[in-house]
Amino acid sequence: MVRIVILGSGRGSNAEAILNAQEAGQLGLAQVVGLFCDQPDALMLKLGPRFDVPAFYLHPGKFKTKLEGEAETHWIETIQRLQPDFIVLAGFMRVIKPPFIEAFKGRIINLHPSLLPKYPGLHSIQRAMEAGDAETGCTVHWVTPEIDAGEVLGQERVPIAKGDTLDEVEARVHAAEHRLLPATIRRLADELMLRH
Ligand code: GAR
């Protein structure tokens, strides 16, 4: 079994796509062993009972946009108990710092709603539209200390047509994410099993 821990902050539609893929037998030997959320009311937490996976809110500490200090140590220690092979940042809206990255070195992947290296950071879909781009997309990449800059594991392109609304393009990007992220996890799990 390849142990997957998912971190998120909100709706959890990507966590749901991963769990649906698992239920459908499309995740290979990967199995989600825990969901962690930094928002107590996030919809994502409802996935726990629905899919019979442990789902926890963990207090994110005093910072609004990053995980650092005592809270970071608590997150690291709690997640380590689940012995994850991979940690998936699926809509986790907080910057993770070198101590966390070191604790799970080479095991953290992130989903980002743009064709990186274009539009790292926030509001990526809106920025692609405002720039008049004819396409955007989503990227799964390894997490390194530099934000949204680690090696790319996979991308899916999404067209932007003239007259599209932000909602329409967002829906298209989400649909692409829901394919790309489970497929990438499966590939990583397959590759890990081949190495053992
Ligand atoms: C996704 O679109 C993901 O790409 C984005 O948050 C959304 C989470 O949706 N992530 C980032 O912007 C990270 N900087 P979800 O909670 O429904 O999975």
Annotated catalytic residue within 59, 74, 112, 123: 112
State pTM to two decimals. Answer: 0.97
Ligand 1 near 137 CB (within 6 A): no
What are the beta bridge partners of residue 87? 5, 108
CA distance 63 to 182: 30
Give me ligand 1 centre to Cα 11, in Å.
9
What letter does residue 154 receive in the DSSP assignment?
Answer: E
Q: How many domains does the chain have?
A: 1
Query: Is the confidence at residue 196, as pLDDT, over 90?
Result: no
Give mean pLDDT, residues 128-140.
Answer: 98
Give me ligand 1 centre to Cα 163, in Å.
23
Per-residue confidence band for 135, with pLDDT thresholds at 50, 70 and 90: very high
Ligand 1 near 50 CB (within 6 A): no
H, E, C per residue of 28-95:
CCEEEEEEEECCCCCHHHHHHHHHCCCEEECCCCCCCCEECCHHHHHHHHHHHCCCCCEEEECCCCCE
Give me the chain's average pLDDT, please. Answer: 97
Q: Which strand ranges, in their side-by-side order, compose the sheet holding 30-37?
A: 55-57, 30-37, 2-8, 86-89, 108-112, 135-142, 152-159
Atom number, ligand 1, closest to the C-alpha of residue 124: 12
Give the residue whose CA is nearest to atom 2 of ligand 1. 113
Give the residue whose CA is nearest to atom 1 of ligand 1. 91
CA distance 179 to 13: 11
Is position 174 annotated as part of the catalytic site?
A: no
Query: Is the confidence at residue 22, as pLDDT, over 90?
Result: yes
Residue 9 assigned as binding residue: no
Give mean pLDDT, residues 91-102.
Answer: 97
Give the residue whose CA is nearest to atom 5 of ligand 1. 91
Give the residue whose CA is nearest to atom 6 of ligand 1. 91
Ligand 1 near 94 CB (within 6 A): no
Atom number, ligand 1, closest to the C-alpha of residue 112: 4
- Specify the CATH number for the domain of residue 103: 3.40.50.170
Residue 48 assigned as binding residue: no
Which domain, by its residues, includes 187?
2-195
* Predicted local confidence at residue 80, as pLDDT: 98
